[in-house]
């Protein structure tokens, strides 16, 4: 799947200026209440304008943009990131900001990731950067292990193959679209952005419980909200004084296992008892009200709201801090184990890696279970479709993308792909009544491809 853009001169953006200085950032009139695909194109232009055209003498090159691609929208396969990255690159190229022969114009992939993440926030989604990083850093025929702390880093991960008496066989990822539209912007208050806030609040309460330092403001008085990863880092530094970031794999894994035990303090009734409130002892037990969180945070109401609620709109009666934090830590452990299994298989001289592939599939299944029960980002259709995929021969199956609809991804031996796809097509109720063309667009095998690039056309 891919997104392609071509560009030619025209008018796209304007800004009010006074004298030699900009009065504010560029404005491209993105209405987050009614997003269209042009909104994501405009979002891609923001970083270019605000990073490279900051004086009255610097004017951008107008451009027409033609877009074509095969990434299905709203399906959890990073269609919005693909559009933002493609438009960001197109505007950089048309404005001559990608000249590799000029050190001043040499943009690193890491810088492009950061710019693209900031750009996508313009449409109202507080993205963590995984989609943009994958869109930019991916390499053909390899999975990608991406870390963001203490800085962006990527490692190629080769998937194992199995060798039979007659042939070498590789594992293939098969995408199956639930056809439930997954729009991160629509419902962000109660879904995507709410998860961001719940994770940050979990980090705050854990840092308080563990007696770790928590800085609320930077030197410029900008509110700083420590993330779970930062709290984990402080926790590991205290446990292992000689360890420094980036932590070794063994240190990180053992530290996360220990940290997982600390997450238990986030259970709703545990927090209530700790701050002198009576337990609920019912189905709400694991959740916390905002007033309960404020009390447990040891912050005053005004500071708490300014730091955690003034920058994003969320809606919830009970915030599920325990479930969200548990998912994040266990998912991190699954990712590390996935990478470790792939590394071991690549270094092994054994003639078969089928047990390894089966273990990878089990990790994917565990991830789906956690996404559904702990992070609550699945939906009935995704739960049903992943089960159908497993029953049809997948070694493992989970949702992909933000969740709440969109695609599943399944690990399938290449020799079984055709029968697997046919079985899924026949069993999933959402495909009934669709044309063969539409079904083929919904279920397809795929292999890792290369990340974003620019091709300059000549006459």
Catalytic machinery residues: 131
**CA separation for the pair 69, 75 (Å, rounded):** 14
**CA separation for the pair 154, 346 (Å, rounded):** 18
Count, in order, helices (H) and strands (E) of the chain: 15, 11
Q: Which two tokens stand for residue 298?
A: 């040891």
Q: Residue 275 CA to chain centroid, in angstroms?
A: 34
**DSSP 8-class letter at 248:** P
Residues 275 and 292: beta-carbon distance below 8 Å: yes
Which residue intervals of 70-124 are DSSP H helices?
79-94, 109-120
DSSP one-letter string for 249-267 = HHHHHHHHHHHHHHGGGGS
**Terminal Cα distance for the chain, rounded:** 27
**CA separation for the pair 56, 22 (Å, rounded):** 7
CA distances (Å), 115 to each of 25, 85, 120, 129, 145, in order? Answer: 15, 9, 9, 10, 20
Query: What residues have CB less than 8 Å from 457, skipping those under 6 apart?
Result: 6
The neighbouring-strand residues paired with 6 are 66
**CA separation for the pair 401, 180 (Å, rounded):** 13
Residues 143 and 388: beta-carbon distance below 8 Å: no
Residues 216 and 240: beta-carbon distance below 8 Å: no
Q: How many CB atoms lie within 10 A of CB 22?
A: 18
Q: Which two tokens stand for residue 381?
A: 């259709």
DSSP one-letter string for 333-366 = HHHHHHHHHHHHHHH---S--HHHHHHHHHHHHH
């Amino acid at each position: 799947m891919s997104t392609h853009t071509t560009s030619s001169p025209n008018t796209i953006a304007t800004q009010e200026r006074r004298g030699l200085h900009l009065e504010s950032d560029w404005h491209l009139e993105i209405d987050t209440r009614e997003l269209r695909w042009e909104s994501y194109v405009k979002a891609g232009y923001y970083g270019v304008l605000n990073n490279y055209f900051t004086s009255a003498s610097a004017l951008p090159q107008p451009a027409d943009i033609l877009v074509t691609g095969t990434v299905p929208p709203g399906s959890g396969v990073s269609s919005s990131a693909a559009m933002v990255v493609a438009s960001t690159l197109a505007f950089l190229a048309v404005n001559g900001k990608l000249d590799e022969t000029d050190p001043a114009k040499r943009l690193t992939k890491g810088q492009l990731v950061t710019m693209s993440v900031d750009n996508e926030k313009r449409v109202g989604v507080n993205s963590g950067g995984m989609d943009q990083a994958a869109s930019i850093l991916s390499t053909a025929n390899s999975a990608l292990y991406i870390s963001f702390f203490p800085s962006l880093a990527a490692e190629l991960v080769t998937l194992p193959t199995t060798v039979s008496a007659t042939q070498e066989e590789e594992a293939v990822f098969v995408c199956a679209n639930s056809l439930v539209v997954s729009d991160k912007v629509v419902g962000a208050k109660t879904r995507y952005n709410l998860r961001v806030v719940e994770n940050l609040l979990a980090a705050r309460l854990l840092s308080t419980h563990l007696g770790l330092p928590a800085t609320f403001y930077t030197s410029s008085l900008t509110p700083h909200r420590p993330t779970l990863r930062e709290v984990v880092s402080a926790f590991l530094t205290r446990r292992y004084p000689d360890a420094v970031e980036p932590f070794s794999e063994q240190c990180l894994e053992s530290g996360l296992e220990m940290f997982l035990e600390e997450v238990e303090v986030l259970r709703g009734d545990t927090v209530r008892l700790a701050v002198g409130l009576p337990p609920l002892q019912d189905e709400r037990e694991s959740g916390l009200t905002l007033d309960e969180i404020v009390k447990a945070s040891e912050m005053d109401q005004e500071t708490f709201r300014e730091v955690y609620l003034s920058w994003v709109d969320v809606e919830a009666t009970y915030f599920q801090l325990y479930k969200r934090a548990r998912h994040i830590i266990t998912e991190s452990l699954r990712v590390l184990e996935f990478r470790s299994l792939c590394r071991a298989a690549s270094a092994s001289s054994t003639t078969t890696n089928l047990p390894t592939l089966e273990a990878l599939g089990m990790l994917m299944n565990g991830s789906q279970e956690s996404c559904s029960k702990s992070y609550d980002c699945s939906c009935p259709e995704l739960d049903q479709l992943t089960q159908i995929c497993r029953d049809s021969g997948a070694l493992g199956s989970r949702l992909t993308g933000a969740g709440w609809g969109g695609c599943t991804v399944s690990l399938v031996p290449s020799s079984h792909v055709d029968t697997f796809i046919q079985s899924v097509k026949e069993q999933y109720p959402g495909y009934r009544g669709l044309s063969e063309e539409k079904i083929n667009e919904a279920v397809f095998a795929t292999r890792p491809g290369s990340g974003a690039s620019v091709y300059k056309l000549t006459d």
